[in-house]
Amino acid sequence: MSQTFSRRMNFLSRLTIFGAVFIVSAVALAIAEIVRSPYVTEAGVVRVQPVPFSHKHHVGDIGIDCRYCHASVERSAFAGIPSTKTCMNCHSQVWSDSPELEPVRESFRNNTSIQWTRVNTLPDFVYFDHSIHLAKGVGSVTCHGQVDTMPLMWRENPLTMEWCLECHRNPARYIRPREQVFAMHWQPPATQQDFGQKLAAAYKILSTEKLTNCSTCHR
């Protein structure tokens, strides 16, 4: 009985199967890299604002504490945006005629809010509370980076679920003493894992099983 297909077809079949697996794997890896890239996460992308506010100048050079502007960060889920009056506490005297600050003065005169462009944001289906993270010893630098070096603000980290879970799976690696949560240049000790575990016990941080439960962030 003669063969319907030649032996060469066996080779072509194997080549097609392995080629298809390779292509699917390559596409999956490419998609994974794209999803994690700044193009999607916008990490490292400077956001244009109606007023060129410099954290480097206000925090790094002058030394203004984060809580002066973000007044609700220790007691509510939202860090808070400073009112124009907060800005004018200084700028009614300093740079009071600067053209760059005219939107601030106009906002104050007309009692209207400045429409800032939000830099760090999460999807609506994600629950996040600033106050609980600070109370548990998570430093602002851990999430927002060295804002005291940023002339204009950008998102330091991707804020993906993968990135959040990295901390929730091992909080001892990242937490610091509560009195250091706003410190820009605090350095962890060489024994951070052991040190962090002691802090985790003192601050009553939930077990990693609870921290990684879906309902913790998706309520």
Residue 59 predicted with pLDDT over 90: yes
Same domain, 148 and 184: yes
* 141 token code pair: 């630098």
Same domain as 94, residue 16: no
pLDDT tens digits for range 111-135: 999 999 999 999 999 999 999 999 9
Distances (CA, A) of 207 to 77, 95, 120, 143, 156: 21, 50, 27, 21, 27
Encoded amino acid at 156, one letter? E
Q: What is the pLDDT of residues 150-192, one digit of tens each?
A: 999 999 999 999 999 999 999 999 999 999 999 999 999 999 9
Instruction: Specify whether 98 is located in the same domain as 175.
Output: no
Confidence check: pLDDT of 92 > 90: yes
Buried b (16+ CB within 10 A) or exposed e, 104-142: bbebbeeeeebeeeebbeeeeeeeeebeebbbbbbbbbb
62 in the same domain as 92: no
**Residues 172, 102 within the same domain:** no
Q: Within this chain, do residues 76 and 165 fall inside the same structural domain, yes or no?
A: yes
One domain for residues 101 and 171: no
- Residue 23: per-residue pLDDT: 85
Of 156, 168, 158, nearest to 34 by C-alpha is 158
Q: Is residue 203 part of a domain?
A: yes
Shared domain for 181 and 212, answered yes or no, is yes
**pTM to 2 decimal places:** 0.82
Domain around 88: 82-115
Last residue of a domain, one of 96, 115, 134: 115
The count of domains in the chain is 3
Beta bridge partners of 46: 154
| Structure-token pair, residue 74 | 């220790």
Both 102 and 189 in a single domain?
no
